Amino acid sequence: MGYKRMEREDLYEIHRRWRAQHSISRIAGALGLDRKTVRQYIQRFLDVGLQQDGPEAAKEALYELFAQILPTTERRKPAWQELSKFEQEIRELVQDDKEPVKPKTAYLIVEALAALAKS
């Protein structure tokens, strides 16, 4: 099976079927998921305090809990955004008349100096 991005509605379906006492295999088959994926999310339900036999929570309350369960999809910033903070310093190091350095080396120098400044 390929990667499928999980959404709140997918988790709601897993939760609804789990509370209805469906087996992991049955849930996985009905939703087109791997059994390990279903088992993983059921464990996450238990970790945040949801019970299979406990009182039923409102759909909106479940969606708030699902926000904690869903993996984050935040990506790292593109390299140019990270470099833009140090653009002037890097240019000076690369274009130095006496001892020019390669751009990557200039970035490493500036990054090291920034780390020292934070300490």
Q: What share of the chain is helix, strand, coil (3-state, %, to 5)?
A: 60, 0, 40
pLDDT at 83: 72
User: What does pLDDT average to over the chain?
Assistant: 86
Encode pLDDT of 92-107 as tens digits.
889 999 999 998 888 8
Question: Considering the entire predicted model, what is its pTM?
Answer: 0.59
* pLDDT one-digit tens code per residue, 6-48: 889 999 999 999 999 999 999 999 999 999 999 999 999 999 8
